[in-house]
């Protein structure tokens, strides 16, 4: 409700002619409309300013992200779809697909195939000597195994009808194979375990298997017999044939090594050497110019040297002064005793606060030469 008193619009001014009440109402409405318009303009301007500030803030945050200076990578599915379109249409490919594939301004190399993460791991070759394939392998539940041995025979003698018999005392002994332990542990992040869907753990287990297999095979060849199993090269009871040269061996010396063993051991014997020595061996010929090496012409049968099979072992030494590059013998005379297979214990608690899972790996195995008479070494001068 409008009032004409001074509290509503003030005194009515008179300028030559007195204003009517309608004039007063019209002026009041005009002033009110002007005030409302000014306030609406201020509100709209403030809203535009707020939107502008928010937009600038988003741009600033985007610019501060790591790698913001690099070109943004499009969605992988979109990239693949665009690439397939480019392969079908070539230069007739729509501009939006070419834009998705463009990674540089170089017209000669501006379009690239989409990247893809392969699930296959690239691994280096792990070589180890296949001693287990020809040695005698047993299992045990004890920390060591003692084998009774007979080191001599009876002493029978020819006697006449009335002559007294003589006593015999065959010699006996014991040979102990002590079980040794090899172990290690691997720390792996929990995030890697979770993100790789179990593949990282599988790779760690495979790496442990290859490492332990390599270490035990090396010990079977040259182990010290103290912390590791006794290696066949370390055993001092095996006789040897010494070559005339320190750098080469001859076919006659190989024949000497082979026939130094009794026929029963010789007929079950296997030649062992590394690849370098094997290459030298393949070049040896007899007096008629025939190679001593006899290749196998039947699947599943090994190559032979003087009629006996050859097994390549990477841990055998090369031909060098004082080295033993070749061993021939019946490998049932070397005994391997397994106490515990490769055991992997997963411990997620010991470094849980660091986000790390620790994997403990242990292997218990023993090995030694039980019958040195079954082997013969070729030793370089």
Structure tokens at 114: 């989409």
Radius of gyration, alpha carbons of the chain: 45
**Would you say residue 16 lies in a domain?**
no
Is the same domain home to 108 and 228? no
What per-residue confidence (pLDDT) applies to 7?
45
What is the Cα–Cα distance from 98 to 104, expressed in whole angstroms? Answer: 11
pLDDT tens, position by position, 197-254: 777 888 888 888 889 999 999 999 999 999 999 999 999 999 999 999 999 998 889 9
What is the Cα–Cα distance from 253 to 271, expressed in whole angstroms? Answer: 14
Is the same domain home to 109 and 214? no
Minimum mean pLDDT range among 212-221, 232-241, 303-312, 330-339: 303-312
Question: Around Cβ 53, how many Cβ atoms within 10 Å?
Answer: 10
- Does the structure show a pLDDT above 80 at 345? yes
What is the Cα–Cα distance from 17 to 165, expressed in whole angstroms? Answer: 173
What is the Cα–Cα distance from 234 to 164, expressed in whole angstroms? Answer: 47
Do the beta carbons of residue 100 and residue 78 sit within 8 Å?
Answer: yes
Number of domains forming the structure of the chain: 2
What is the Cα–Cα distance from 282 to 304, expressed in whole angstroms? Answer: 11
- Does the structure show a pLDDT above 80 at 377? yes
Is the same domain home to 93 and 188? no
pTM of the model: 0.66
Minimum mean pLDDT range among 48-52, 142-146, 351-355: 48-52
**Would you say residue 152 lies in a domain?**
no
For residue 281, what are the domain limits? Answer: 172-379
HEC per residue, 335-353:
EEEEEEEEEEEEECCCCHH
pLDDT tens, position by position, 10-56: 444 444 456 666 666 677 677 767 776 676 666 666 656 666 667 66
- Does the structure show a pLDDT above 60 at 98? no
Is the same domain home to 183 and 96? no
Do the beta carbons of residue 238 and residue 377 sit within 8 Å?
Answer: yes
**Would you say residue 191 lies in a domain?**
yes
What per-residue confidence (pLDDT) applies to 66?
57
Is the same domain home to 237 and 343? yes
Closest listed residue to residue 331, CA positions, set 375, 366, 373: 375
Question: Alpha carbon of 319 to those of 198, 294, 326, 381: distances in Å?
Answer: 45, 21, 9, 10
**Would you say residue 92 lies in a domain?**
yes
Is the same domain home to 110 and 182? no
Q: Which residues pair with 181 in a beta bridge?
A: 364
**Would you say residue 200 lies in a domain?**
yes
Is the same domain home to 245 and 356? yes
Is the same domain home to 105 and 204? no
Minimum mean pLDDT range among 106-110, 254-258, 340-344, 351-355: 106-110
What is the Cα–Cα distance from 224 to 227, expressed in whole angstroms? Answer: 7
**Would you say residue 251 lies in a domain?**
yes
* Structural domain ending residue among the three candidates 114, 145, 162: 114
Is the same domain home to 332 and 205? yes
Q: Among residues of the chain, what percentage have pLDDT more than 90? A: 35
Minimum mean pLDDT range among 38-47, 170-179, 288-297: 38-47
Is the same domain home to 84 and 232? no
Is the same domain home to 199 and 272? yes
* Structural domain ending residue among the three candidates 94, 114, 134: 114
CB < 8 Å & 24+ apart, contacts of 236-240 = 237/369, 237/372, 238/327, 238/329, 238/369, 238/372, 238/375, 238/376, 238/377, 239/372, 239/376, 239/377, 240/324, 240/376, 240/377, 240/378, 240/379
The gap between the terminal CA atoms of the chain, to the nearest Å, is: 129
Is the same domain home to 220 and 367? yes
**Would you say residue 292 lies in a domain?**
yes
**Would you say residue 342 lies in a domain?**
yes
């Amino acid at each position: 409700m409008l009032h004409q008193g001074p509290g509503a619009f003030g005194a009515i001014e008179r300028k030559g002619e007195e204003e009517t009440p309608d004039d007063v109402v019209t002026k009041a409405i005009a002033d009110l409309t002007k005030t409302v318009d000014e306030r609406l303009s201020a509100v709209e301007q403030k809203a535009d300013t707020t939107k502008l500030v928010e937009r600038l803030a988003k741009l600033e945050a985007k610019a501060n992200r790591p790698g913001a200076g690099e070109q943004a990578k499009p969605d992988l599915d979109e990239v693949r779809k665009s690439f397939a379109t480019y392969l079908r249409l070539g230069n007739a490919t729509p501009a939006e697909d070419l834009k998705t594939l463009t990674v540089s301004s170089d017209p000669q190399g501006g379009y690239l195939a989409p990247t893809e993460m392969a699930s296959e791991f690239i691994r280096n070759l792990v070589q180890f000597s296949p001693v287990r394939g020809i040695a005698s392998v047993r299992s045990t539940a004890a920390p060591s195994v003692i084998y009774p041995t007979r080191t001599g025979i009876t002493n029978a003698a020819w006697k006449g009808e009335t002559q007294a018999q003589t006593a015999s005392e065959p010699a006996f002994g014991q040979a102990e194979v002590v079980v040794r332990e090899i172990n290690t542990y691997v720390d792996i992040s929990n995030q890697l375990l979770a993100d790789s869907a179990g593949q990282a753990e599988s790779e760690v287990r495979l790496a442990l298997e290859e490492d332990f297999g390599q270490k035990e095979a090396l010990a079977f060849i040259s182990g010290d017999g103290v912390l590791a199993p006794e290696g066949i090269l370390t055993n001092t009871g095996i006789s040897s044939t010494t070559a005339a040269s320190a750098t080469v061996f001859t076919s006659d010396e190989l024949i000497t090594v082979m026939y130094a063993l009794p026929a029963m051991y010789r007929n079950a014997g296997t030649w062992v050497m590394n690849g370098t020595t094997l290459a030298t061996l393949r070049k040896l010929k007899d007096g008629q110019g025939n190679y001593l090496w006899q290749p196998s012409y039947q699947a599943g049968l090994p190559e032979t040297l003087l009629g006996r099979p050859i097994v390549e072992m990477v841990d055998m030494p090369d031909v060098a002064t004082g080295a033993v590059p070749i061993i021939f013998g019946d490998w049932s005379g070397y005994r391997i005793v397994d106490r515990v297979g490769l055991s992997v214990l997963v411990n997620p608690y010991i470094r849980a606060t660091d986000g790390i899972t620790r994997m403990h790996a242990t292997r218990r195995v023993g090995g030694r030469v039980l019958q040195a008479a079954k082997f013969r070494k070729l030793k370089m001068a």
